[in-house]
Every structure is written in C-alpha cells, then in structure tokens.
Chains A and B, each alone.
Chain A
Amino acid sequence: GPKVLQIPSHQIIDMGQMVTLNCDPVSNHLYFYWYKQILGQQMEFLVNFYNGKVMEKSKLFKDQFSVERPDGSYFTLKIQPTALEDSAVYFCASSFTGGNSDYTFGSGTRLLVI
C-alpha cells in the first residue's frame, strides 16, 4: 500500500545542535502528524498539521520544536537546539481524514543526542 517515507532513518547529533527530520507523506493525504517513542515505551503524540498550520501540539512539543511543510514538499520536524532527552524514535504519520485505516505511519527516525 501507500507508504510514508522518513529520512534519515538514523541520526546522531551533538547536544545543542539543530536537527531536521524529514517526512514524505502519502501523496493525497491532508493531515500530518509527528509522534515520539522512547525505547520500550508508548507512542506519544507531538503535533498535528493541516492546511499549512499546526492544529494541536502536546506538552512534549517544546518551544525548541517546529514543523512545516513548505510548498507541499517534505513535512519536517526541526529541533533547535537539541537536548539529551530528545533522544527517541520519531514517527511521522499521515491521513486523508480520520477515523479510518488509511492513517499511515513511517518507519521512524532514530535520533540519538550525545
């Protein structure tokens, strides 16, 4: 089926540096999401995005985080500056609407902040 692609799959970065995680959502999807999963724990919602705007962000979405999707290209999550506690797997997802099985997750970006 259609896939959500995430680039890169792994990233190691020095604390304090900036990192951008890229997501190529399913082509006709309208809603985009980022989730965070710390090793062995549950997936937690960070932010959702529709029509060029953030709809809702959780308390995990710190001021150092930002998202955008310029001109229909990648949907990006930028962290600037990074902190040690940002180490996690970040999953992008997209959906056409909601309440159905087309909600598709990418394979994740493993971020390690050292």
Chain B
Amino acid sequence: GEKVEQHESTLSVREGDSAVINCTYTDTASSYFPWYKQEAGKSLHFVIDIRSNVDRKQSQRLIVLLDKKAKRFSLHITATQPEDSAIYFCAAEGMGYKLTFGTGTSLLVDP
C-alpha cells in the first residue's frame, strides 16, 4: 500500500523567514495531496492541497510543489508568523478516498 514519508520531524524558523516541509510517496496512482495543520490537543484543519494535474499551487503565504517523477511534494510557508506554529501533516489520497499520512512536522516559529 501507499507509504508517505515526511522528512522533517521538527523545524524551527524565525518569524518572517520561510519554512519548507518535504514529503515523498510511493504509489504512482496517488493523485491528490492535502496538507493539514494540527495544534496541540486539537483536530486536523485543512491547509492547502494539490492535484497531480498541476505542479504548483499557491494560496496566500502557502505554496505547494509537486514533482510526480520524483514522487515528492512540499509545503512552503512564506513570511512565517508565530501562529503558524503547529504540527503539519502531509497526506496522499488513495482508493476509497483513504488518506495515508506522513509522520508530521512540528513547526516552531520564534517571534
């Protein structure tokens, strides 16, 4: 089955800098890749997504890149703010809309 590897387990940046989180996946059939944010003790909130028919998507300060050949996708948070601090999970969608998640990246933005 699908495996998603999330490369950074922790990431610390200064406020205003960019943060980049990288994920790789194994199933070439996967075509939808969402990102979620989880604050301590809370649920997952959708952040941004990308479909396999594009290689870049931007929503305000968030950019997602997809390299299908390398089976790699990444989340770029520009001009980081303290409220961006949270755990970020990448995911790949498979059959039956099942999501396979990465192991999470704990992002800390120092003010």
Q: Which A residues are within 8 Å of any B CB, using their own CB?
A: 31, 33, 35, 41-45, 48, 50, 55-56, 91, 95, 97-101, 103-108
Docked CA distance A50–B95 (Å): 13
Which residue of A has the minimal Cβ distance to B46? Answer: A101
Q: Which of B99, B102, B104 contacts A103 (CB 8 A)?
A: B99
Collect the chain B residues with CB atoms within 8 Å of residue A107's CB: 42-43
Whether a CB of chain A sits under 8 angstroms from the CB of B89 is yes
SS class of chain B's interface: helix, strand, loop or mixed?
strand
Q: How far is the CA of A39 from the CA of B93 in the complex (A)?
A: 23
- Cross-chain contact A105 with B44 (CB below 8 angstroms): yes
The contact of B96 among A55, A103, A104, by CB within 8 Å, is: A55
Q: In the complex the two chains form, is A103's CB within 8 Å of B46's CB?
A: yes
Q: Looking at B31, B46, B97, which has the most chain A CB atoms within 10 Å of its CB?
A: B97
CB distance from A86 to the nearest CB of B (A): 19
Minimum CB–CB distance for A82 against chain B, Å: 22
Shortest CB distance B31–A (Å): 7
Closest Cβ of chain A: how far from B11's Cβ, in Å?
16
Structural contact, B101 and A42, CB atoms closer than 8 A: yes
- Nearest residue in B to A47 (C-beta to C-beta)? B98
CB–CB A99/B32 < 8 A: yes
Q: Which of B32, B51, B103 sits near A42, CB closer than 8 Å?
A: B103
Contact A48 B96 (CB under 8 A): yes
Complex CA–CA separation, A10 to B43 (angstroms): 14
Asked whether, in the complex, the Cβ of A50 is within 8 Å of the Cβ of B96, the reply is yes
Judging by beta carbons under 8 Å apart, are B100 and A103 in contact?
no
In residues 66-103 of chain B, which contact A (Cβ within 8 Å)?
A: 89, 93, 95-103
**Chain B residue, CB-CB nearest to A102:** B46
B96 touches A56 (CB 8 A): yes
A59 CB, nearest partner CB in chain B, Å? 10
CB distance from B58 to the nearest CB of A (A): 15
Complex CA gap A107/B39 in Å reads 11
Residues A56 and B43 in contact, CB atoms below 8 Å apart: no
